[in-house]
Amino acid sequence: MSTLAIDFAAVDKYIHDHIRDWMVELSALCAVPSVSARHEAIEPCAAAVAELLTRRGFKTQVTSVDGGHPVVLGHASGSSSARTMLFYNHYDVQPPEPLALWESPPFELTERDGAVYARGAKDDKGELVARLAAIDALKAITGGYPCELTWLAEGEEEIGSPHLPEWTEKHLAELKADAAIWEEGQVDEAGRPIIRLGARGLLYVDLSVSTISRDAHSGSANLLPNAGWRMAWALASIKGPDGRIRIPGFYDAVRMPTAAEEAMLSRLPDTAENFRREFGLDQLLDGVTDVERAYFTPTANIAGIGAGYQGEGSKTVIPAQAMAKMDFRLVPDQDPMDVLDKLRKHLRAEGFGDVAIEVLGAQPPGLTDPDAPVVRLTAEVANEVYGKPALIVPLTGGTTPMYLFTSRGVPVVSPGVGWGSRNRAHSPNEFMRLVDFENAARHIARLLARFAAA
């Protein structure tokens, strides 16, 4: 069916009139506490997602590789186009802690002030259901889906998708697509839609060190080695007070933005003030004023650290063991395994060969060609829905397994339900505004129809 024959006013009305139906589905999904870091409720949530797709006519399978969480894969035929759009989502969520900071139960979808609150309300269950809303509306108004649809929903995104590369290799034939709609998207605080084309890579490691056979009385602190100090010194060797990462060769492979990426960056608004206001700062680190450009710089972040007694009151003790969790966000042309090798060599060279390294996640960066036709199409449709020109961002600060598709020539775009950095994803009181859900569904419905006709 030609897009000229689709009554998009009717599509919009259908979406507006049926939001409560999709909130019922979202509520059921959010009630499943699918915390991948603790391997909780993973199978029930995969089954719930598979049922949502099966209900809509998708041929659905739930499979996994050894040690991996289930991956839901569905396919539905299109009525008027042989082109294939792939949806990528994840059904796993972050832990809800600290629980005391939630204003409503984290796994009960709660509506207040035009928004719904729950863990996963935005990241990523709300995004998934908004896409279901888009295809539901198209099918209700036109009688079918405009193109071939493939849906991949995994359960390990929040822990680095460690088994997805192996799973993908086994399902390449089923994942062929002309383009992909990635897990999430957003509008900025001014209501301008943001289209992100890439994601930074990631190396996530667990560092641990043991200095004595057991914790000891701190009266012996001038006699016995302290694991806490040992870890602190090891971490200090990795990054200095100037913010520079001190691992030899760490920056060697870093690629600066291309001319096309520089052009996109130059058209983006300054978001530094929003960041400063959001996090209560006078200025960002190193006086950064161009947030999006800063995403082309790699990072070394301490995500967690612990040693000794951390309970209430005092306990004079020499800790025998210490740990730290670190993540390195990587930029184009950096390889996580190369960075890992450099980290190991650095610690040995600095005298910290006793610090053990366990890899918890590793993903290369992923980038979409900004000249891909689907990028222009997504921006044009966004302008129609939001009434404001889309902001095209070449690289996002976070990490997703986007590289599994961009490296195989599948361009990726990211319309979605987010609202700047305000949705509190990964934090207490995560939420999604209903207006953003509605607009995202309208955007995706038009994108699918126009994509099918292109």
pLDDT digits (tens, 9 = 90+) for 23-81: 999 999 999 999 999 999 999 999 999 999 999 999 999 999 999 999 999 999 998 78
pLDDT confidence band for 135 (50 / 70 / 90): very high
Once rounded to an integer, what is the mean pLDDT over residues 104-110? 99
CB neighbour list of residue 24: distance below 8 Å, 6 or more residues apart: none
Is a pLDDT exceeding 60 seen at residue 1? Answer: no
Is a pLDDT exceeding 90 seen at residue 273? Answer: no
For 432, the enclosing helix (H) or strand (E) is strand 431-433
Cβ proximity of 15 and 437 under 8 Å: no
Q: Is the dihedral of CA 293, 297, 302, 303 positive or negative?
A: positive
Cβ proximity of 120 and 126 under 8 Å: yes
Domain 201-256+296-363, CATH number (from 1.10.10.10, 3.30.360.10, 3.40.50.1980, 3.30.70.360): 3.30.70.360
- Closest alpha carbon to 90 in 173, 38, 164, 172: 164
Q: Where in the chain is the domain with CATH 3.40.630.10?
A: 3-199+366-453
Angle (CA) 348-349-353 rounded to 5° is: 20
For 364, the enclosing helix (H) or strand (E) is none
Q: Which residue has the higher pLDDT, 247 or 266?
A: 247
Residue for token pair 């100037």 = 242
Q: 370 phi and psi, to 5 degrees? A: -65, -15
**Helical segments of 285-398, H only:** 291-294, 336-349, 373-386
**Amino acid letter for position 417:** V
Instruction: Measure the CA–CA gap between 325 and 306, rounded to whole angstroms.
Output: 9
How many CB atoms lie under 10 A from the CB of residue 24? 11
Token pair in block for residue 299: 């990072």
pTM of the full structure: 0.88
pLDDT tens readout for residues 194-214? 999 999 999 999 999 999 999
Once rounded to an integer, what is the mean pLDDT over residues 156-160? 92
**Amino acid letter for position 301:** N
Instruction: Measure the CA–CA gap between 454 and 444, rounded to whole angstroms.
Output: 15
Q: Where in the chain is the domain with CATH 3.30.70.360?
A: 201-256+296-363
What is the DSSP secondary-structure string of 168-225?
A: HHHTGGGG--SEEE-S--EE-TTS-EEEE-EE-EEEEEEEEEE-SSS-EEGGGTTTS-
Is residue 314 classed exposed, middle or buried when 0-12, 13-18 and 19+ CB atoms within 10 A define those classes?
exposed
pLDDT tens readout for residues 309-362? 999 999 999 999 999 999 999 999 999 999 999 999 999 999 999 999 999 989
pLDDT confidence band for 17 (50 / 70 / 90): very high
pLDDT confidence band for 271 (50 / 70 / 90): confident
Domain 3-199+366-453, CATH number (from 3.40.50.740, 3.40.50.720, 3.40.630.10, 3.40.50.2000): 3.40.630.10
Beta strand pairing call for 179-181 and 84-90: parallel
Is a pLDDT exceeding 90 seen at residue 290? Answer: no
Once rounded to an integer, what is the mean pLDDT over residues 124-135? 99
Token pair in block for residue 415: 């319309």
Q: What SS3 class is residue 9?
A: helix
Q: Is the dihedral of CA 187, 425, 159, 265 positive or negative?
A: positive
**Amino acid letter for position 303:** A
Cβ proximity of 36 and 92 under 8 Å: yes
What's the helix, strand, coil split of the chain in %, to 5?
Answer: 35, 20, 40
Instruction: Measure the CA–CA gap between 147 and 81, rounded to whole angstroms.
Output: 5
Is residue 55 classed exposed, middle or buried when 0-12, 13-18 and 19+ CB atoms within 10 A define those classes?
exposed
Instruction: Measure the CA–CA gap between 324 and 303, rounded to whole angstroms.
Output: 7
